[in-house]
Amino acid sequence: MRKHQTRSRLFIDRPIQFAIIVRAVTYWTVCLTMQILATALLPVLFHPPQDLYVVGEQFWWTLGLGILGSILALPLIVMDILRLSHRWVGPVYRLRSYLRSLRNGQPVGNLKFRESDFWQELAADVNSVVSELTEARARLDNSPSLSSTKPPQNTSAPTRNESESALSELPI
């Protein structure tokens, strides 16, 4: 049985994964802002004005707990998104390397992604195309080569000496 391979690099395709992390942090910031606004405005809306002093003391405690919990959750969110992004960035990276090897004429086996990666059917599609390409290349290699046929005649314009000798052979 094949041992599960873990990725050793934190970023596989830095621009894509960085954009995803920035988006997640942006969502986190929006959620934190909404949490702060809800914590601040809900007591004002639902408590009588004379209770706002007591509610104000509770506000700072509640707000501090909410911010602390949110800050503690952020690294977990970022790492989870980064690990999830490996499941689609990794296969694209592997596909690009595979296609480069194929283009350079290096022997390639079947394209395989990790079991947990997305786009498993893409690997199957690429493998069938590569199989057809390999068969077509083999047919070309086994067909009569152009080098075994006669080389084409020189079709360039004749030189002056060749023209004079051809003219001298004509009966006048």
Instruction: Give the pLDDT confidence of 33-91 residue by residue, as tens digits.
Output: 998 888 888 877 777 776 767 777 778 888 888 899 999 999 999 999 998 998 889 99
Residue bearing the bigger pLDDT, 113 or 169:
113
pLDDT class of 23 with cuts at 50, 70, 90: very high
pLDDT at position 167, please?
Answer: 45
pLDDT at position 52, please?
Answer: 67
pLDDT at position 94, please?
Answer: 92
pTM as predicted: 0.58
CA angle 4, 6, 11 (to 5 degrees): 155
Burial of 98 (0-12, 13-18, 19+ CB in 10 A): buried
Q: How far apart are CA 41 and CA 164, in angstroms?
A: 106
pLDDT at position 7, please?
Answer: 64
Mean pLDDT of 124-143: 88
Q: Residue 8 corresponds to which amino acid?
A: S
Query: Residue 158: pLDDT above 80?
Result: no
